[in-house]
């Protein structure tokens, strides 16, 4: 097993995104660090557009993530609906 | 005339294809080799550039949109910082030393990276990496500009921020970062990508930015958090590009594996040496510390790098040659380096200081196997000298490593009480090194490294001829203001005075 | 391979001895005395007598270590280019074969106050 992770700035735009990630990835661990939230997950982490849209009540483009992204680890696969990090 | 309207919105994949791949063309009246003369000499074989995948699928229109948003956020906060006396909100003026090193050594590196990616974008024959490198080139110049702009607010009030551009080229510790980028930029485009895109961005950049920016947040430095995170939001894309590039090279031809491995060995070690500076910021310079250098290494070096090299094993790639020695050095390097910076602080454009008892207790807790045994006795002796009114300065200038250009302050692997010395001869000249790995890097490309401009030997050649005062003037180092112990410095005195003024009348 | 390049490529060493106005660089390190973070860079004439170099260039730099005054220079052992070596104290650096940018290390095994 290898850990993948993603980190966002702590702000009002990322709060619902992080909540959505927690809903979609039950095995993920969320670390609150100074000004930053880091989410670790074993082998894979999926971010789903729909879950975020449910949280914020508007349409969401996954590329908006990039504005508040700090870092990540793992291979990325991205399309309109999902943003996936994995070590496999 | 009616233009047919495409009702359906383009998918991300289609949009990417139109705005990236479709921008390429086949040359008709020039040969491809003449258009891209640097594409093959490094020995990397590429059979099909179409296999290049950009996982972010970012197109120029989206790029400008999101970058503009980042800039708006950045300047809103920088304005607020200046309007609200942000320069007085930091935990302590000692914190500024970390920023000064950043401005003198790292921000010019962003500018160098900009030039490097602009060139790589021109030299790669494939349109996928051309577009990705172009975006990264623009990112990197944005990073240099926003960093300089953010820190210019501190330059209005404190020493050591005023001459970073000259100091980058002329001071001894900054030549470490400079030589790192010069080495990468004078390599071919593929090596450049492994050097900066992969080794630096993917393997090492987290160790620089993430703990450093968290440290800025902990120490009340709103402007640095802002430029740091604004830059870092591009970093994830850069890391992805670096990883994509290495996978692409490894998948294109099995003969590429050996070349790529050699570059990984070289550039991991060179990057690790540059990061020596960051270890002192984390362990010594932040008045309020976030985590130790060792803890940051465990998360971002050991764990993350471990996962990466596990993954690359399927191509026949192994962890870099210096990986194990690096893991051992992490328990020593910040102490060895900070002791060095302190004893040569007449020649640094930032302040250093003897750690307080409380600081030393923190260090022994974080470094239980090394600090009390090896480093506390040195600091205690230096403290005794200071209390006796004879502060310790080492006027014997340092032996520098021909490859990484750092003073050779590092200990022998397995023997922390001996300095590591390595020496080799090439065409009748003697060359000195800090480690086996730096010596091996030299031996791979001696014709390149014999040309290194080493600041200490340079001081004894024309036109300075060993004149330390003339050197300070040339390096724009204001003696008595920029350099020396923090105790009694302008920064310490001003910060204290201004802080008192904010809370009384 | 001495460098990977598109055509023949010959570098010029930056720190050749000719650039030092008749002088040369010598590095001197005191083993196991890491109060001094690195070996010292000395700028000396190749005609300097070895004893004078120790007296005038090395001793003034090492006083901060309490072991310095206890050194018995007659029993000190030396390395040159990381190999055991015995200097001739009354000969010049040139006659001692100490070339430009070479490293000398000296060992004082019984002295060990600060850096264990």
In a domain, C97, yes or no: yes
C-beta atoms of A71 and B236 within 8 A: yes
C-beta atoms of C25 and B429 within 8 A: no
C-beta atoms of A78 and B13 within 8 A: no
Mutate to test the interface with C, among B354, B382, B390, B396 (most CBs of C within 10 A): B396
Structure tokens that stand for B464 in this block: 């300075």
In a domain, C2, yes or no: no
What is the full per-residue pLDDT of chain B (505 aa) written as tens digits? Answer: 566 665 678 888 888 888 888 888 899 999 999 999 999 999 999 999 989 888 788 888 899 999 999 999 999 999 999 999 999 999 999 999 999 999 999 999 999 999 999 999 999 999 999 999 999 999 999 999 999 999 999 999 999 999 999 999 999 999 999 999 999 999 999 999 999 998 888 888 888 888 888 889 999 998 898 888 888 889 888 988 899 999 999 999 999 999 999 999 999 999 999 988 889 999 999 999 989 999 999 998 988 899 999 999 999 999 999 999 999 999 999 999 999 999 999 999 999 999 999 999 999 999 999 999 999 999 999 999 999 999 999 999 999 999 999 999 999 999 999 999 999 999 999 999 999 999 999 999 999 999 999 999 999 999 999 999 999 999 999 999 999 999 999 999 999 999 998 888 8
**DSSP string spanning C50-109?**
HHHIIIIIIGGGSTTSTTGGG--TTT-EEEETTEEE---TTSBTTTTT--TTEEEEEE-T
C-beta atoms of C4 and B457 within 8 A: no
Structure tokens that stand for A55 in this block: 């949280």
In a domain, C3, yes or no: no
Q: CA quadruple B135, B139, B140, B145: dihedral positive or negative?
A: positive
Q: Are residues B436 and B403 in contact, defined by beta-carbon separation less than 8 angstroms?
A: no
Q: Do chains A and C touch (3 or more CB pairs under 8 A)?
A: no
Q: Phi and psi for C81 in degrees, rounded to 5?
A: 55, 35
Count of other CB atoms within 10 angstroms of residue B115: 14
Q: Specify the pLDDT at position B276.
A: 85
**Cβ neighbours of C114 in B, within 8 Å:** 377-378, 381
In a domain, C53, yes or no: yes
Q: Specify the pLDDT at position B435.
A: 98
In a domain, C12, yes or no: no
The domains of chain A, with CATH numbers, are: 3-86 (3.90.56.10)
The domains of chain B, with CATH numbers, are: 49-156+165-503 (1.10.620.20)
| Angstrom distance (rounded) from CA B362 to CA B379 | 14
Q: Pick the closest to residue B297 from B319, B314, B275, B321 (CA basis).
A: B275
DSSP strand pairing (C24-30 vs C102-107): parallel
Gyration radius from chain A CA atoms:
12
| Sheet order of strands, A44-48 included | A44-48, A82-86, A75-78
Task: Name the minimum distance, in Å, from the CA of B261 to any CA of chain C.
Answer: 15
* Interacting residues of B323 by C-beta distance below 8 A, sequence separation 6+: B268, B305, B309
- For A31-60, the pLDDT digits (tens) are 998 889 999 999 999 999 999 999 999 999
| Angstrom distance (rounded) from CA B366 to CA B374 | 14
In a domain, C114, yes or no: no
Closest Cβ opposite residue C3 in set B373, B445, B456: B445
What residues make up the domain containing C67?
17-107
Closest Cβ opposite residue A3 in set B66, B69, B303: B303
**Cβ neighbours of B377 in C, within 8 Å:** 114-116
In a domain, C85, yes or no: yes
CATH of the domain at C66: 3.10.20.560
C-beta atoms of B378 and C34 within 8 A: yes
C-beta atoms of B448 and C61 within 8 A: no
Closest Cβ opposite residue C82 in set B411, B423, B461: B423
Structure tokens that stand for B221 in this block: 């430095």
C-beta atoms of C2 and B454 within 8 A: no
B56 touches chain A (CB under 8 A): yes
Closest Cβ opposite residue A71 in set B69, B235, B311: B235
**Tally of domains within chain C:** 1
Q: Which residue of C has its CA nearest to B43?
A: C4
């Amino acid at each position: 097993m290898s850990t993948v992770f993603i980190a966002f700035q702590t702000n009002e735009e990322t709060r619902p995104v992080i909540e959505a990630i927690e809903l979609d990835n039950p095995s993920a661990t969320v670390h609150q660090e100074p000004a930053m939230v880091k989410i670790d997950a074993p082998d894979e982490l999926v971010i789903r557009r729909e879950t975020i849209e449910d949280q914020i009540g508007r349409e969401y483009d996954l590329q908006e993530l990039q504005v508040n992204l700090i870092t990540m680890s793992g291979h990325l696969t991205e399309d309109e609906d999902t943003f996936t990090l994995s070590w496999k | 005339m009616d233009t047919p309207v495409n009702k359906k919105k383009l998918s991300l994949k289609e949009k990417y294809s139109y705005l990236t791949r479709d921008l390429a063309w086949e040359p008709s009246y020039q040969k491809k080799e003449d258009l891209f003369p640097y594409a093959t000499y490094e020995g990397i074989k590429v059979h099909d550039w179409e296999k290049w995948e950009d996982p972010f699928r970012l197109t120029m229109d989206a790029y400008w949109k999101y970058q503009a948003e980042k800039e708006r956020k950045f300047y809103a906060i920088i304005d607020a910082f200046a309007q609200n006396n942000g320069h007085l909100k930091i935990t302590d003026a000692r914190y500024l030393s970390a920023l000064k090193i950043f401005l003198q050594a790292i921000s010019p590196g962003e500018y160098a990276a900009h030039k490097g990616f602009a060139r790589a974008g021109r030299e790669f024959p494939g349109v996928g990496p051309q577009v990705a490198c172009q975006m990264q080139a623009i990112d990197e110049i944005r990073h240099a500009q926003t960093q300089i702009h953010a820190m210019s607010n501190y330059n209005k009030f404190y020493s050591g921020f005023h001459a970073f551009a000259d100091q980058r080229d002329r001071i001894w510790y900054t030549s470490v970062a400079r030589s790192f980028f010069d080495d990468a930029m004078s390599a071919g485009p593929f090596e450049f990508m492994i050097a900066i895109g992969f080794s630096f961005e993917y393997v090492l950049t987290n160790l620089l930015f993430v703990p450093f920016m968290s440290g800025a947040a902990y120490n009340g430095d709103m402007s640095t958090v802002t430029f740091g995170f604004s830059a870092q939001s591009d970093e994830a894309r850069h890391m992805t590009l670096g990883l994509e590039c290495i996978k692409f090279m490894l998948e294109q031809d099995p003969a590429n594996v050996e070349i790529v491995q050699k570059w990984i060995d070289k550039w991991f070690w060179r990057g690790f040496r540059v990061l020596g500076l960051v270890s002192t910021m984390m362990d010594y310079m932040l008045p309020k510390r976030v985590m130790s250098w060792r803890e940051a290494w465990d998360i971002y070096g050991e764990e993350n790098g471990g996962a990466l090299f596990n993954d690359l094993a399927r191509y026949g790639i192994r962890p870099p040659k210096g990986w194990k020695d690096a893991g051992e050095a992490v328990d020593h390097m910040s102490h060895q380096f900070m002791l060095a910076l302190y004893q040569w602080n007449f020649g640094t454009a930032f302040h250093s200081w003897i750690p307080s008892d409380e600081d030393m207790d923190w260090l022994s807790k974080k470094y239980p196997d090394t600090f009390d045994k090896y480093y506390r006795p040195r600091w205690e002796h230096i403290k005794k000298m200071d209390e006796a009114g004879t502060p310790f300065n080492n006027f014997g200038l340092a032996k520098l490593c021909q490859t990484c250009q750092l003073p050779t302050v590092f200990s022998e692997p397995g023997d922390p009480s001996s300095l590591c010395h390595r020496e080799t001869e090439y065409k009748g000249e003697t060359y000195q090194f800090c480690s086996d790995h730096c010596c091996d890097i030299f031996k791979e490309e001696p014709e390149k490294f014999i040309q290194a401009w080493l600041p200490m030997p340079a001081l004894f050649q024309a036109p300075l001829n060993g004149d330390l005062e003339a050197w300070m003037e040339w390096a724009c180092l204001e003696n008595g203001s920029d350099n020396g112990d923090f105790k009694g410095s302008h920064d310490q005195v001003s910060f204290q005075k201004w802080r008192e003024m904010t809370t009384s009348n | 391979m001495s460098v990977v390049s598109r055509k023949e490529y010959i570098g010029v060493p930056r720190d050749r001895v000719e650039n030092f106005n008749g002088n040369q660089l010598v590095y001197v390190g005191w083993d196991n005395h890491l109060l001094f973070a690195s070996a010292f860079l000395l700028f000396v004439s190749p005609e300097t007598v070895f004893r004078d170099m120790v007296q005038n260039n090395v001793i003034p730099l090492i006083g901060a270590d309490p072991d310095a005054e206890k050194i018995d220079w007659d029993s000190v052992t030396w390395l040159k280019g990381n190999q055991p070596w015995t200097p001739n104290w009354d000969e010049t650096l040139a006659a001692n074969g100490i070339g430009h940018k070479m490293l000398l290390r000296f060992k004082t095994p019984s002295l060990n106050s600060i850096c264990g």
